Amino acid sequence: MTNIRTLLISLCILLTAGCASVPTDPAAAAVYHESNDPWESFNRKIFAFNMAADEYALRPVVNGYRAVTTVGFRSKVRTFLNNLKTPLTIVNDVLQLNFKNAGTDLSRFIINSTLGFFGIYDIAGKMGLPSNSQDFGTTMAVWNVPSGPYLVLPFLGPSSVRDASGLVGDVFLDPVFYAGRGSDNQDVKRGFWVIDGVNVLTSYESVVDLLDEGKKNSLDFYAFMRSMYQQHRKKTVDRAKGIGDSGKQQNDYDFSLDDEEEE
């Protein structure tokens, strides 16, 4: 208990030390508020650590995985793992009171787990049931919990205070977690550890090309990643809230360009 308290106090001191003050220049202040990143200097350090971890630890594993598997095989693995994540999505659909999506996702899970041979084939997708992925971070956003400041997590990358706590929530809400970890059978438990490992690997493998492209094209890769994450996350939350689909509320990209026109 004392150790946890010490850890929390140390983390608070670290974050406060890395907290940037609001710039006095109006243009710089506008950037500061827009980026929602008061812990930027701390986040940049974690980002640099992640980049080093990518280069020396994760990338060789991904390269090895790509070398010994085909594109088709990796696609099947992703489909299988996505199917295993569907129960968690269903729980989040229900928590978001989105029973229509919960029904669709339940149908997807049953169809793909049976006709799709344990989820290796996305038969439900071919039947017109679109895939959906929800997490507890999105659920909290639907409940109007503010995102909190931008946060870079070690190994996991871009996040926010809300989404990072959502990751913890997902572990406890995931029925598959209980099925695996709650089993008395040691082989089942080990099997789920392997699945977790493969899950991390495939998730990373599916984004490395985007990371490489971002690194290649950007001037400030940290700022680029922050922007990508925040915009994409906003889109995910808006979709869960039903914003934009019927045009009843504006999307973030519906900004006016008139202010920027040459006067």
Partner 1 sequence: MKKLLTILFCFISLTFHAVAAEQAEVEKFAKDLADDIIKNVVLAKVPLQQKQDAFRKSFLAAINLKTTARFTLGRYAKTAQPEQLQAYTDALADNIVCTWANRFNDYAGGALSPDIVSFVSTRQNENGDFYVTSKLKLPNSENDIEMIWRVSDKKGKLKLADLIVEGVSMLISYRNEYTAILQQNGGDIPALTEMLEKKNAVLKKTSGKSA
Applying CB under 8 A, the residues found at the interface with partner 1 are 23, 25-28, 30-32, 34-35, 71, 75, 78-79, 82, 122, 125, 131, 209, 212-213, 216-220, 223-224, 226-228, 230-232, 234-236, 238, 247, 250-258, 260-262
To partner 1, the closest distance from the beta carbon of 243 in angstroms equals 11
When the beta carbons of 4 and 219 are compared against partner 1, the nearer one is 219
To partner 1, the closest distance from the beta carbon of 219 in angstroms equals 5
* CA dihedral (91, 97, 99, 105) positive or negative: negative
Rounded Cα–Cα distance for residues 67 and 62 (Å): 8
H-helix segments, the chain: 2-17, 26-35, 40-53, 59-68, 71-95, 99-114, 123-126, 136-142, 161-173, 175-181, 186-205, 208-217, 221-241
Using the structure block, give the residue that is written with the tokens 């490992």. Answer: 197
Query: What amino acid is encoded at 142 in this protein?
Result: V
Give the helix/strand (H/E) hosting 160.
Answer: strand 157-160
Q: Nearest to residue 167, comparing CAs of 146, 179, 185, 153?
A: 153
When the beta carbons of 94 and 243 are compared against partner 1, the nearer one is 243
To partner 1, the closest distance from the beta carbon of 13 in angstroms equals 25
To partner 1, the closest distance from the beta carbon of 77 in angstroms equals 11
When the beta carbons of 75 and 94 are compared against partner 1, the nearer one is 75
To partner 1, the closest distance from the beta carbon of 6 in angstroms equals 34
